[in-house]
Amino acid sequence: MRIVVTRRVPEAALVELRALGEVVVSDADRPLTQEELQEAVAGASAIVSMLHDRIDGAVADAAGPQLRVVANVAVGYDNIDVPALVERGVVVTNTPDVLTDATADLTFGLLLALTRRIAEGDRLLRARKPWSFHLGFMLGSGLQGKTLGIIGPGQIGKAVARRAEAFGMRVVYSGRSQPKEDLLRVADVVSLHCPLTPETRHLIDAKALSAMKHTAFLINTTRGPVVDESALADALLANEIAGAGLDVFEREPEVEPRLLELNNVVLTPHLGSATVETRTEMALLAARNVAAVLNGGEPVNPVHR
């Protein structure tokens, strides 16, 4: 059996995959184009994909009728045309749970960096700008007694809530289909943890941003297109909200240029799951999903049944 891995993964996962058959790993240190992806997967019984790979019916057809499983190394699977693959008898899996704490930690790291102006202070010192301590210097916002609004109360959202409660915050929740006006109105921080679906694309748009407090902060560690980045830049420039922390972007890896110029924005390059331990566990879980299907069993984490 031929197993195609679309980008480098930790060696521990490759060891498990090699026990199943021939493993081919893309040597391009970048996302493959659709043409390259279709060429790479030819003859594959299994594909281990990344969140930037668009796996659709054409890719499945390019692999051939022996394709049995696509194991996405991510929680979200908006990059996969699940109905098209199911129609072709291909199992689709993902890697939930193992990245919950890492992503929640990063979410709270963005929040602290934003509200306490940590990244801004770091930039000031690295620029060797003159400064001196006084009681009004670079004042930020405390979290104690503030309200955190979580849109998408899944495992990651709940993990963020536990961290917020430890900081003395009050937590309110909203489902993922539409942000409730009450949450946007009362939250001092709005944190997004809903998957990307047609219903959640641009869930945070100009209207939603205008409903937030002028003193509120927005954090996004889920999927970039959940936020209308252009509308967010407009809102920040108009002082409609106090700031934003983003780990994901609407046209990743591109970033709305105006956001790059703002001191009240903290940006990280999709680091939510980026710990050695978490990324290794994600790759291992994908490998175990592949092994289960190729050995004739049930996958650990199917995204459809």
Residue 266 has pLDDT above 60, yes or no: yes
**Which of 120, 109, 173, 119 shows the shortest CA–CA distance to 143?**
109
Residue 303 maps to a domain: no
Q: How confident is the model at residue 180 (pLDDT cuts 50, 70, 90)?
A: confident
- 250 and 288: one domain? no
As a whole number of angstroms, the distance between CA 93 and CA 246 comes to 27
**The pLDDT of residue 169:** 98
Tell me what the pLDDT averaged over the chain comes to. 96
Helices (H), the chain: 11-18, 34-40, 57-63, 82-87, 100-115, 118-126, 155-166, 181-186, 206-211, 229-237, 276-294
- 284 and 184: one domain? no
- 141 and 214: one domain? yes
Residue 300 maps to a domain: no
Confirm if 24 and 3 have CB atoms less than 8 A apart: yes
CA angle centred on 261, ends 260 and 267, rounded to 5°: 35
Residue type for 49, please?
Answer: S
As a whole number of angstroms, the distance between CA 162 and CA 300 comes to 27
Q: How confident is the model at residue 294 (pLDDT cuts 50, 70, 90)?
A: very high
Range 287-304 average pLDDT: 95
Confirm if 21 and 2 have CB atoms less than 8 A apart: yes
Range 34-50 average pLDDT: 98
Residue 305 has pLDDT above 60, yes or no: no
As a whole number of angstroms, the distance between CA 178 and CA 197 comes to 12
Residue 116 maps to a domain: yes
- 93 and 112: one domain? no
Confirm if 238 and 261 have CB atoms less than 8 A apart: no
Confirm if 66 and 83 have CB atoms less than 8 A apart: no
- 77 and 121: one domain? no
- 51 and 133: one domain? no
In the chain, what percentage of residues exceed pLDDT 90? 96
The tally of domains found in the chain comes to 2
Peptide bond preceding 195 in cis form (omega within 30 of 0): no
Q: How confident is the model at residue 152 (pLDDT cuts 50, 70, 90)?
A: very high
**The pLDDT of residue 29:** 87
Q: How confident is the model at residue 177 (pLDDT cuts 50, 70, 90)?
A: low
As a whole number of angstroms, the distance between CA 91 and CA 300 comes to 11
**Which of 84, 63, 58 shows the shortest CA–CA distance to 6?**
63
- 18 and 120: one domain? no
**The pLDDT of residue 1:** 93
Burial 263-278 (b: 16+ CB within 10 A, else e): ebbbbbebebbebeeb
Residue 299 maps to a domain: no
- 187 and 88: one domain? no
Please report how many Cα atoms fall inside a 13 Å half-sphere around the Cα of residue 262, on the Cβ side. 24
**The pLDDT of residue 179:** 64
- Structure-token pair, residue 25: 């790993």
- 159 and 94: one domain? no
In the chain, what percentage of residues exceed pLDDT 70? 98
Domain membership of residue 129 as a residue range: 100-267
pTM > 0.85: yes
67-76, 171-180, 200-209: segment of lowest average pLDDT: 171-180
**The pLDDT of residue 176:** 56
Concatenate the DSSP letters of all residues of 210-230 into one string: HHS-TT-EEEE-S-GGGB-HH
Residue 49 has pLDDT above 80, yes or no: yes
Residue 108 maps to a domain: yes
Positions marked catalytic: 223, 252, 270
- 162 and 202: one domain? yes
- pLDDT tens, 208-230? 999 999 999 999 999 999 999 99
- pLDDT tens, 103-134? 999 999 999 999 999 999 999 999 999 999 99
CATH number for position 6? 3.40.50.720
Q: For residue 192, what are the contacts with CB-CB under 8 A and spacing of at least 6?
A: 151, 152, 203, 204, 218, 219, 220, 221, 222, 226, 227
- pLDDT tens, 52-108? 999 999 999 999 999 999 999 999 999 999 999 999 999 999 999 999 999 999 999
- 197 and 226: one domain? yes
Residue 302 maps to a domain: no
- 110 and 215: one domain? yes
Residue 189 maps to a domain: yes
Strand partners, 80: 55
Residue 192 maps to a domain: yes
